[in-house]
Structure 1
């Protein structure tokens, strides 16, 4: 297997034009694969190439999908570490080794409890406001 196989996979899985691909292209910053698309890519890759992803730490490579208000007050995991790019070369190595090839630096991710609590409070407040608006229209 060679890099062309990985290019074909990226083209089929994510619709990436082969003209944008190079061995060192950063899937996130160069090719725009991020959030849920990146999660989908990893799932497809793991399944197709039977790669063990037991050591994979997503937050080193890409963001989460959508806007997270709680992250304004308590940093999300990807905001707590220095990003490590994933390239077609990394995917090729993983497909050959059948294991995730990146070793991560020692790190500790802060609890997401504060971030989650802020998001829940905001949602409950917005739902309460919406309910009050509906009730006032009915009265």
Structure 2
């Protein structure tokens, strides 16, 4: 197992030229791999190299997909911790060890996703408001 194998894997998975890859390139900040793309990349990596990812904590490494109105009111997990980069060198180490052995700093992330709950409240509120406006429009005509 060498770094060139990791480069080939990354080039195939994220459709990037291998010339842009070096051991310390940050997959998120330098290459723009975020959200679902990052999650899919890590899943493919774990499967391809038989890496135990049970200790992997996504929120340290990338944001979620899309935009969340609820995040304006409550911090999602990735905003509650300091981001840690993932590089080809880190992937190579995990592939060789067959385990994601990253030591995360001591942290506490809220388990209740208040940002998502707020999104649901907003969407339900908009739906109810729309339904009431429609009903009032139907009955006032």
Question: After superposition, where does 1:26-45 map in structure 2 within 5 Å?
Answer: 26-45=26-45
CA shift, 1:19, in A, is: 1.7
Aligned counterpart, 1:67: 67
Distance of 2:99 and 2:49 partners within structure 1? 10
Q: Which runs of 4+ in 1 moved over 2 A?
A: 111-114, 128-139
TM-score by length of 2: 0.91
Q: What SS does the corresponding residue of 1:119 show, helix, strand or coil? A: helix
Question: After superposition, where does 1:1-40 map in structure 2 within 5 Å?
Answer: 1-40=1-40
Asked whether the 8 Å contact 1:76–1:112 carries over to 2, the reply is no
Q: What SS does the corresponding residue of 1:78 show, helix, strand or coil? A: helix
Asked whether the 8 Å contact 2:7–2:18 carries over to 1, the reply is yes
RMSD: 1.6
Gap runs ≥5 in structure 1:
none
Question: After superposition, where does 1:31-110 map in structure 2 within 5 Å?
Answer: 31-110=31-110
| The 10-residue stretch of structure 1 (110-119 or 14-23) with the greater mean CA deviation from structure 2 | 110-119
Gap runs ≥5 in structure 2:
none
Count of aligned residue pairs for this structure pair: 139
Distance of 1:130 and 1:94 partners within structure 2? 51
| The 10-residue stretch of structure 1 (123-132 or 19-28) with the greater mean CA deviation from structure 2 | 123-132
Structure with max Cα Rg: 2
TM-score by length of 1: 0.92
Aligned counterpart, 1:131: 131
Residues 50, 132 of structure 1: CA spacing in aligned structure 2 closer, same or farther, 3 A cutoff? same
CA shift, 1:112, in A, is: 3.0
Distance of 1:129 and 1:137 partners within structure 2? 12
| The 10-residue stretch of structure 1 (105-114 or 78-87) with the greater mean CA deviation from structure 2 | 105-114
